[in-house]
Structure 1
Amino acid sequence: MAKHSSQFRFFKSRHVPELTVLKAAMSDFSYDRHAHEEYAFGVTLAGRQDFFSGGEFHRSPPGNVIQFNPEEVHDGHSGGESTLGYVMAYVAPRQLEALFADALGRESAGRFRSAETLIPDPALRQAILELVHLVTRQVGSRIDQEQALYRVVTRLVQRAGRFQPGGIVSRPDALLKHAKDYILAHLEEDVSLDDISQAAHLSKYHFLRLFRQQFGITPHQYVLNCRINAARSALETGAVPNDVALRYGFADLSHFNRRFKRIYGMTPYQYQRSVMH
């Protein structure tokens, strides 16, 4: 099969600082050995990804996840005759510190390092691809991208056998009520975990731990739930589903349809017809 010239395109997240996504098609290009200051989470989409890292050579087939820790030296090129297609998300360590700490059940996670480089894990792959989709299509809100990052982090910690979903912590109800009130008052805005935890006067780490312990879901899930409930009320007044989707931060009508149906068993349009006729 004839190879075409290599193509690279970078996308900066509009919502999460220091989050960049690369979409690449490689045939006639080879990376020199180098290292990034960020964590790198990638998925091989087509062809084969051959590279050196951690003192050994690796071959990544389509569907496989590749993960590099900060400062981990590697190179890369297309293996075989087919053009290599892959995506890679680069995230600064400070953007993930609280997420790793929460998943590890510690107040401070230090610098988490995965022992795995090639990872055949469908759940991790899906989380990375969801993050890539949100950034490259410039859709959704900050909380959507943070949730995708949270899924990546928790899956890596689970694979390391160090995931701690609980933890014995106090439950300052009044502070968490501040957080809930803030979320409800800003459903149409692009809120972040930093915004919500500051409203609760808690560090991001403590906020994540306390919120999940008390309410049984993550703040990301709670925000989404509140947006769905608000959207339902808007639909009952006759608001156009597409307008409702945009108002409450869903990536598009298709994304809104999927999320709504998971809770109410029907699409927003079907729900609206059922309550207004």
Structure 2
Amino acid sequence: MAKQSSQFDYYKSQHIPELTVLRAALSDFSYDRHAHEEYALGVTLAGQQDFFSNGEFHRSTPGNVVLLNPEEVHDGHPGDDSMLGYVMAYVAPRQMESMFAEAVGREDAGRFMSRETLISDPVLRRSILDLSHLVTQQAGTCIEQEHALYRIATRLVQRSGTFQVDGKVSRPDALLIRAKEYILAHLEDDVSLDDISQAAHLSKYHFLRLFRQQFGITPHQYVLSCRVNAARNDLSAGAPPNDVAFRYGFTDLSHFNRRFKRIYGKTPHQYQRSVTAPH
């Protein structure tokens, strides 16, 4: 019997602008290491999900929750010969901030960061599956989808994460944040390692070592990841793939296709069709 090919189906919420759900079935696909700007909240449905995140390797089996904080570098692939099935909701931090603040009872709580990556929690699992169902089936009202998100935020706070407080970062972290801000501000430019390390006020050697140690990928991989994430937003807004490829410095559409597919499982055109056409 021929092995079933991998499948990736993306669904944008009709009610919450920066909420996207992925239903994936993987047999022969491996994600490149990359990072998303969003929280990624997933449930393993079938098979075995092997991935690197937060500086270590994880193995998720059916029923487990996978939680990735914004900017957390990760990859992923099936852990055995069976088909890996999972669902993942991607939510922009600004969509969650007020919900986290309400759940913790502090308006100035800051950005929530989970200490856990792989979680066994039936309540959290059910909440993520309920939200994913509402989005993939285009069901429920705006307030119902928001309530499903609030249930997730409340459960995560109950599990005791941390809140990032502005101004309390170490000097190396502050320098790397400056480097990341420079990269994000120059996604459409032909930036060099010299440019980025100078923006961080570090020697090139020290910058490379610190960056790889902190994020688990090279600055080049991070730049590519940020460009692909920005490209995804433009594609969701309806921009032509050719224009997007040129805007973010890919040599041609073929190069853009390869890089995009290594992170999202689809070509830019396939992804755009998936999130803009009715399911």
TM-score range for the pair, normalised by the shorter chain length: 0.5 to 0.7
Maintained 8 Å contact 1:100/1:112:
yes
Tell me the equivalent position of 2:158: 158
Distance 2:147 2:67 in 1: 19
| One-letter amino acid matched to 2:64 | N
User: Given the alignment of the two structures, is residue 37 of structure 1 paired with residue 52 of structure 2, yes or no?
Assistant: no
| 1:91 aligns to 2:66 (yes or no) | no
Higher Cα radius of gyration: 1
Higher RCO, 1 vs 2 (CA within 8 Å, ≥6 residues apart): 2
1:3/1:81 contact within 8 Å kept:
no
Q: Which amino acid aligns with 2:94?
A: R
Equivalent in the alignment of 1:7 = 7
Shift of 1:109: 2.0
Q: State whether structure 2 residue 84 is matched by structure 1 residue 48.
A: no
- For residues 161 and 23 of structure 1, the distance between their equivalents in structure 2, rounded to whole angstroms, comes to 26
**Quick one: percent identity of the two aligned structures?**
73
Letter in 2 for 1:111: R
2:78 counterpart letter in structure 1 = S
Could you tell me the TM-score, scaled by structure 2's length? Answer: 0.57
d(CA) in 1 for partners of 2:27, 2:161: 37
CA RMSD of aligned residues (A): 1.6
Question: Which string of whole-angstrom CA distances, capped at 9 and with x for unpartnered residues, describes residues 12-44 of structure 1?
Answer: 000011000000000110000000000010000
Poorly superposed stretches of 4+, deviation over 2 Å: none
* Unaligned stretches of 5+ residues in structure 1: 163-277
Q: Secondary structure at the match of 1:15?
A: coil
The letter of the residue matching 2:62 is: P
1:169-180 paired onto structure 2 within 5 Å? none
Aligned residues: 163
Letter in 2 for 1:85: G
> Following superposition of structure 1 onto structure 2, how do residues 1-277 of structure 1 map, counting pairs within 5 Å?
3-160=3-160
Distance 2:100 2:132 in 1: 20
Do the aligned partners of residues 73 and 83 (structure 1) sit closer, same or farther apart at CA in structure 2, a change above 3 Å counting?
Answer: same
CA distance in 1, matches of 2:125, 2:69: 17
Paired with 2:70 and 2:55, the residues of 1 have a C-alpha distance of: 16
Change in CA separation of 1:33 and 1:103 when aligned onto 2, cut-off 3 Å: same
TM-score relative to the length of structure 1: 0.57
> Equivalents in 1 of 2:157, 2:21: separation in Å?
22
How far 1:108 sits from its partner (Å)? 1.9
Identify unmatched segments of 5+ residues in structure 2. 163-279
